[in-house]
Structure formats: C-alpha cells, structure tokens
A and B are shown apart, each in its own frame.
Chain A
Amino acid sequence: MARIVGGVTTSHIPAIGNAMSRHLEGTPYWKRFFDGYEPVKQWLAKVDPDVAVVIYNDHGLNFFLNQVPTFALGCADRYENADEGWGLQTLASFDGDAQFSWHVAESMIDQDFDLATCQEMLVDHGFIVPMALMWRHLPEWPVKAIPFAVNTVQHPLTSARRCYAAGKALRKAIESYPEDLKVIIFGTGGMSHQLQGERAGLINVDYDLQCMESVINDPDWLASQSNSEIIEKAGTEGIEIIMWLVMRGALHANVDVVHKHYHAPISNTGAGVLVLENSHD
C-alpha cells in the first residue's frame, strides 16, 4: 500500500526562483534562507519518496478568472511549466502519475471533496519553486509530482478548516492506493506577506511563528480562524498559509519535527520551513 513518509512546508515566491536561476544562494541576502533547506534535502534523500503531492495555488498561469476551481487535481502523466510573465526561467517538465491521481480524485470525491480534475495543467511558480528548492541539485526530478491546486486568488476562498479536512481525506486516498509508493506532501505558500495596497510590505513574524507551532502541535488553532482574520494578521497573500493545513491534515494527529526554519524578509515575505514525520497515532 502507498504510505505518507512525511510533510514539508515551504514558501514558493518567485523571488526564490529568480535567486536560484541566478545562483545567488551564497550571497549575504540569501545564504541563511537557503542554508536552512540543506537539512530538508538530506532528509528527502534519506526517505527517498516516489511521489510528491504539491499543494499550491496557481497565480494566473493555468487558471484565468473565467474558471476558478476551489480544489483542482492534476490527473496527467506530464506537467509543463511556462512563461507566466514574471521573468522566471522556465523549468523542465514534470512526470506525473495519472493512475495514482485518478485514484486520489475518486477517493476524495467519494469523501465529499468535489475537486476538479485536470488532464492538461500548466504549473506555475507556486509548484516549481518548491520542486527546485528540494531537487535542483539532481540531473532530473527524482519523484513523480502531483499538482494539487487550491484557489487562494479569487475570493470566496475555501477555509483553513476545510483545507485541514481536505488533508485528512487526502491521507485516506493515498493510504488506500494498492501500490507500494512512498509519498511526500508539500504544503506551500505563505507565510505573511501583502504585495498590494497601502499595507503592502506587511510581515508579521510573531504570527508566522504562531502558525508554525500551530501546524506542528495544534492545527485546530489555525484551522479555526476565518479568512478575514488570517488576512488581517498575515496579509492578503499570506492567506496561502491555509494550504499548509492540507499537508498537516494528511499526517497523523501527532508528528515529530525533523526540522524547522524561519527567515524574514525574503523579498516581501516571511518564509517558514517545516519537515514533519508521523508519530504513532
């Protein structure tokens, strides 16, 4: 049977992608941020996952405002990256696993999560930046990747609570897949940032650290907050933090912390990294 070997959280902002393509990792501005990913990469090499489910939001590459699915799952054998107008280097395509995806879709829909299924899906920085952060040192992507898109762009958005529940359904879906696959879940986005309006530049370090502790030990704390409350504290784009709860919901009630790292500012953003493994329930 497939099993979940752990969960990782990471920011996915384009500035990180640009820093990687320009090889700025060792520069004073970026060094501490990137050094904090080395333990993640070592852990990933050790657990050696077969599949990565990447929870992210599309920022206007695959989905325009004509059609905005609240939850959308890639169900293809291949995903392409493309120009999204942000000047980011386009990365190599990603192998998917359509059979696994369709199983997840069917299982989640059976559990009343009516997600949209996508057989062609361009993946944007929200997806490619985490993949590059983990595995750009390898000649090719070492996992099959499954894009799991959550609308965090056009309100009404789903809630933190619903994201947490989606994660629990995702766990059931994965653990009922008959093949022996090791699956990693990436919860991406956040942390606090607001790109727009007179309140642009908001970074709320204390709230970010509360969110990280909550995701580890008390997911209900974050899950019980309304989107307006989260926006007020973390900024309009900081609402992406709700996607971390999809990852968290897919893990056991109790988790062990392998690694936790936080840095601010990265561009306009507070950046948090967690590596979590299941404790025994």
Chain B
Amino acid sequence: MMCSNVRWPRKVAQAGLLGLFIFISLRVHAQDDGIQLDGFKPVPILTGSTAYFTRVTAGQYQDAPSVSPLLLLPLGDKWLVEAKGSYSDTFSKNAQGDYNGTISYGMAYGQIDYIANRYMTFVAGRFTTPFNIYGERLAPNWIRALQTSPLTSPVTSGSALGGMMRGGFPGTDSLNVTYALYFSANNTHHLLATDRSTGGRLGFFLPRQRLEVGASFQQVLQADRPHSSGVFLEWQPNRAPLTVRSEYVRSSGTKGSAYWIESVYRLNQIPALRRLELVGRGEQFFAASNLSAATIKKLGALGKDTNEGDFGLNYYLRSDVRASASYGRQFVLGRDANLWTIGMTYRFVMPMLPQGGAR
C-alpha cells in the first residue's frame, strides 16, 4: 500500500515529463523547416580512410595497413544512418624472424540519427560514448595529429549501445552551448562489447576566441559501478595557426586517472612549408592506488604510472592525403620504451549516386 502511494505520483510525473518532452519536440519540429538548403537533396556517401603505418614499439616492428569505411545514408530531411567499420591486418616479426599477421575488425558505430529540431538530435544504436572530445572527434587516423592514442583513452568506455540526445545551440551572440546525454545497455558480444552505463557531456564554445571548454561524466551501472569524470579544452588563437587541446579524466574505479596536452602548429607563414605541421604532446597516467598484485597484472598498462612525451610531423600532400611521422618516449616503472611511427593516411569521399547526385 505504501509502495503504491509512493509510486503513482512518480509515474504521473514521469508521464507528464515524457508528454511535455514529446510536445515540445513536436512544437519545435513544426517551426523548423528542415536542414535542406536551396533545394539540395542529400545523397548517400561512402567515406572513411585508409592508412598504412609502420610502428616500432620498444624495438618490436609492426606494419599495419587498415581501412575504416563510413557509410552515410540520409533519409528525408531529418534522418541519417551512419555505419562505420574498421579492418586492419597487423604484421609483426616473431622470435624466428618470420612475419605473422593478426587481423582485427569491428564496428566503430552503427547509428540512426533523428534531427528533431534545431536544439535536439536523437541517436539510437551503437555509438561512440560522448565523453570529452578525443573519442568522438579526433580518433579517426586521418584526423588525429599523432597516431598513438593518448593515455586517457582506456580509462572510460569507448562505445555505447542504446540511446542518446545531443545538440548545440547559441546561448548568446558569442557563446554556443553543446550537450550530449546517453544511456547504454550491457553487451557481451566479443566485437561489440559495451557497458551498462549512462552519462553525458556539456561544452561551451566561444567562436570569436575559438575556445571550447567542457566537462563529461560517466556512471557505469554494472560490476563495481565506477564513475568517471573529465574536463577538456580546445583553443585556436586567431593570431597564429596553432591548436592547443587537452583532456583530463579521472575514474573512481581501478582505471586510475590521466591527462594529455597537445599542440599543433601549422607552418602557414613559410610558403615552402605551409603544408607541414608540427605536433607535440605530453601526458601522464596515474594508476589507481591500493591495487593488488593480481589486479595490476590483470590491468596491464593501466596498472602502472606512465609518463609519455611525443613529437610528430604531418605533411599534407593534398587535403586528403597526409604523411606522418612521430617519435615518443614512454616512461613506465622498469620498462621505458621508444615509440616510432611512420606512415600515410588517405581520406576518401565518394557519392553513392552518379556524379554526386548533381542537382
């Protein structure tokens, strides 16, 4: 009896909120005139990137050709289906001097987006967890300034399976607010594993100063139920072709905390070198305290404090073809290592209709 007394107001409130939410969505939907502009109907696109990289990690050679196709399928004025896969074959030398290949493949995301109105987009399916900026925006190998992933990457869940609400809107004339809220179900499939979790990200972008700052939160709802929080910053000063990015992540569980700061300088001012950019990144990982020896062994790289510094060069042969090389030094207790990387990326974009569906 007592339970039912407590439950019914909650249910009514939930129903009211849901009704309100749908009502607002429909109202705003009605006043939005779609994203079509000048009668250009969107056309399905196959895009993505291919890459070939040679890596030398602590003396161990690896050659890794890879391809990451992304299918973009617009449906009407409001819908978009996005599916991104990845395939790579990593060749490395074994003790006998022979090369062995290891194939890996997976689906980075497979999602359907519904642009409800100018403030909200609903996403369903498998998607990249909206935590800070690296995973969603900077991870593709044709975008990332350094091919080695930062030490913050393994601290949080990279992918989610469920639903998400996200968007961006102008707060004032000189401030854009961006947000993302999601929930994810547990999935134990070996290629598509996700945690049962929820969380989100809130960002503030100052277009005039070209500065973005924000914060993220994630709560895992299974096993030890750890939570993670993070902050990020991205700044491109108007007076110099420089980009400064940084992320900090802290986990309450066994995964510790980490930060990285990266700067990218494009040599625009020197005509002969305007296609070249210089990259530097410093980062630290702090393992969780009071870990047992068994847990440290199980966590692997996440079980020990690590410091790393990387320096790289990117040369744009064209806007879609880039040659990259980098050197990094990783400092781990009792096991320092040199990290060399050299290779190329090519970003492709092709329409799925003849001539790009020209008007």
A and B held together in a complex: no
A contact set with B: CB distance below 8 Å: none
Contact residues of B with A, CB < 8 Å? Answer: none
